[in-house]
Amino acid sequence: MALTGYLHQATYGFGRTNGYLLTRDTFHCVNCYPLGRGSLAMAMISGHPPLGQKVTVRGTLTLQESDPSDFYFRLLDAEIT
C-alpha cells in the first residue's frame, strides 16, 4: 500500500529507532494532533528519511491489535517512493 503524508520521528517513549509517524498534516505534538490516533500510521523505515516535507511511503499496512496503547496502524518494511 502507498500512503502520502508527512513523516515525524517517533523515538521518544516508543522504544523504536526507525519508527516514524506518517500523518496527512504536520503537527508539533503527537498528543495534540487534532485528527486523533486513528489518522496516524507508524512507519518502520530504515535510513534517514526526509522530515518536514510531503512524501509517499510504500509498505505493508497492518492493524496493531495486540497493544491498544500503541498506534492503531503500522506500515511495515516501508520505503519512500
pLDDT tens-digit map of 28-59: 665 666 666 667 788 888 777 888 889 999 99
Which CA distances in Å does 67 have to 48, 64, 72? Answer: 27, 6, 8
**53: containing domain:** 2-80
Report CA torsion sign: 68, 69, 71, 74: negative
Percent of the chain with pLDDT over 70: 73
Global pTM reads 0.75
The total of structural domains in the chain comes to 1
Return the pLDDT at 40: 78
